[in-house]
């Protein structure tokens, strides 16, 4: 990918990672991009870097615009290594007069690269930096999603460089939101929100409020992953508002793992009951589904119904995986119940219920357990549980 001018004298100089499929446990089935932005003004500034293996792509892209040695400032909006891994090489090559970051950014950079001798300059929310004709305003976004995170806003261009906010893991040859399929774009954005930002929802609400209060006029959002927003800016901000308020559809997610298909037939019967009440149902057998795809569906679901067979006095390990992952992402406003088939001890469904309670899921039915293979009557009871839960969902 060649560098690309996104605003007058503002160039995308990042890298496309077509091959990444696992991003610390998030399945990136269509790769990702590491976006970096070069602003050529009286001062030359590079906003964000790329992951370490992509350093030469970054340098080639910079070269197409300006001699890298001419860069004055490096702005590090976020220290995580997909955006800073190439920093040591870039500092060596560029010899910047300033590395600009938040106070927590400086601390984290030193803890990553062990170079306290670099020319750091820390900035706080509201501070500005003149590049000549363009002015950069900084907005700290602590804990969205690391303590060091911040946004940079180019006032003259009404351009918000939003770090990981509004990002999507999607490798494309296109650079803008209006050049790709709209519904696929929003499904990648939702997946990103559900798997990276969901737990920070209360802070995202506050941040959206602050952006409004600061009166930032935004006609382009440039995140550090995926497509840049220029035609659907309002729509993605509204989506973030909705996702962070954790609103839901009349939708249930049924998640299960099964040993000999008994828990599976319970899951199918529960789903049948839910569907009879008009609920949208998403079914996931953990053997075939990735945790991060499941969380994307959990994002706007009202009910979480989770089941596992009992193995060695506990739940199946894939169920423990998704529960551990989900607990960390802190979904709110859910109802649900647990279920599972067992042979003699039957701990799994109870343990799942405890995990749901810990996540403050409203338990609408006591956990449903069936010994070994469910009978026709057992399955009727599963359908009934599905219907009862479905009625509650539809009642709003």
- Residues in contact with other proteins by CB under 8 A are 104, 140, 142-143, 145, 147, 199-200, 202-203, 330
Whether residue 17 lies in the annotated active site: no
Q: What tokens appear for 73 in the block?
A: 């400032």
Closer residue to other proteins in complex, CB, 9/122? 122
Whether residue 24 lies in the annotated active site: yes
Closer residue to other proteins in complex, CB, 145/230? 145
Closer residue to other proteins in complex, CB, 272/330? 330
Closer residue to other proteins in complex, CB, 80/157? 80
CB of 351 to other proteins, least distance (A): 22
187 contact partners, CB below 8 Å, separation of at least 6: 296
Exposure on the CB side of residue 84, measured as CA atoms within 13 A: 23
Identify the active-site residue in 169, 188, 225, 232. 225
Cα 46 to Cα 39: distance, rounded to the nearest angstrom: 6
346 contact partners, CB below 8 Å, separation of at least 6: 310, 340, 369, 371
Closer residue to other proteins in complex, CB, 91/332? 332
CB of 75 to other proteins, least distance (A): 19
289 contact partners, CB below 8 Å, separation of at least 6: none
Q: Pick from 170, 147, 152, 192: which is nearest to 46 by CA? A: 152
CB of 143 to other proteins, least distance (A): 5
Whether residue 112 lies in the annotated active site: no
Cα 140 to Cα 239: distance, rounded to the nearest angstrom: 21
CB of 8 to other proteins, least distance (A): 34
Cα 117 to Cα 320: distance, rounded to the nearest angstrom: 45
Give burial (CB, 10 Å; 0-12/13-18/19+) of 351: buried
Q: HEC string of 83-136?
A: HHCCHHHHHHHHCCCEEEECHHHHHHHHHHHCCCCCCEEECCCCCEEECCCCEE
Closer residue to other proteins in complex, CB, 91/203? 203
CB of 158 to other proteins, least distance (A): 27
Closer residue to other proteins in complex, CB, 112/330? 330
Identify the active-site residue in 192, 193, 240, 256. 192
Identify the active-site residue in 11, 26, 57, 78. 78
Whether residue 145 lies in the annotated active site: yes
Whether residue 164 lies in the annotated active site: yes
Whether residue 83 lies in the annotated active site: no
Cα 245 to Cα 332: distance, rounded to the nearest angstrom: 9
Identify the active-site residue in 11, 83, 145, 188. 145
CB of 301 to other proteins, least distance (A): 21
Q: Pick from 186, 107, 120: which is nearest to 147 by CA? A: 107
CB of 142 to other proteins, least distance (A): 5
Q: What tokens appear for 97 in the block?
A: 């007069």
Catalytic residues, by residue number, are 24, 78, 80, 82, 145, 164, 192, 225
């Amino acid at each position: 990918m060649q560098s690309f001018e996104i605003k007058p004298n503002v160039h995308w100089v990042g890298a496309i990672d077509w091959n990444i499929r696992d991003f610390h446990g998030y399945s990136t089935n269509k790769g990702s991009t590491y976006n970096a932005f070069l602003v050529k003004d009286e001062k030359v500034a590079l906003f964000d870097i790329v992951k370490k293996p992509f350093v030469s792509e970054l340098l080639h892209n910079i070269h197409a615009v300006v001699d890298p040695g001419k860069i004055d400032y490096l702005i590090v909006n976020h220290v995580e290594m997909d955006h800073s891994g190439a920093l040591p090489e870039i500092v060596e090559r560029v010899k910047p007069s300033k590395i600009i970051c938040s106070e927590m950014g400086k601390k984290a950079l030193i803890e990553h690269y062990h170079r306290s001798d670099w020319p750091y300059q820390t900035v706080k929310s509201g501070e500005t930096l003149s590049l000549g004709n363009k002015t950069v305003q900084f907005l700290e976004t602590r804990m969205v999603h690391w303590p060091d995170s911040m946004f940079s806003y180019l006032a003259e261009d009404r351009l918000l460089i939003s770090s990981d906010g509004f990002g999507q893991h999607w490798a494309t040859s296109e650079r803008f939101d209006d050049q790709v399929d709209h519904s696929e774009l929003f499904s990648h954005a939702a997946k990103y929100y559900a798997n990276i930002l969901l737990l920070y929802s209360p802070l995202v609400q506050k941040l959206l409020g602050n952006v409004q209060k600061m009166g930032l006029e935004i006609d382009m959002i440039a995140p550090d992953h995926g497509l840049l927003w220029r035609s659907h800016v309002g729509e993605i901000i509204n989506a973030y508002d909705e996702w962070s308020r954790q609103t839901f559809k009349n939708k249930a997610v049924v998640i299960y793992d099964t040993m000999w298909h008994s828990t599976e037939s319970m899951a199918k019967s529960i789903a049948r009951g839910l569907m009879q009440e008009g609920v949208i149902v998403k079914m996931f057998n953990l053997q075939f589904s990735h945790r991060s795809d499941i969380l994307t569906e959990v994002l706007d679901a009202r009910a979480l119904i989770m089941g596992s067979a009992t193995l060695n006095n506990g739940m199946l390990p894939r169920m423990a995986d998704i529960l551990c992952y989900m607990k960390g992402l802190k979904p709110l406003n859910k109802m649900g119940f647990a279920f599972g088939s067992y042979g003699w001890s039957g701990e799994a469904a109870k343990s799942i219920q405890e995990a749901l309670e810990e996540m403050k899921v409203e338990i609408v039915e006591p956990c449903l357990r069936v010994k070994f293979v469910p009978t026709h009557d057992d399955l009727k009871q599963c359908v009934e549980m599905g219907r009862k839960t479905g009625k509650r969902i539809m009642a709003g």
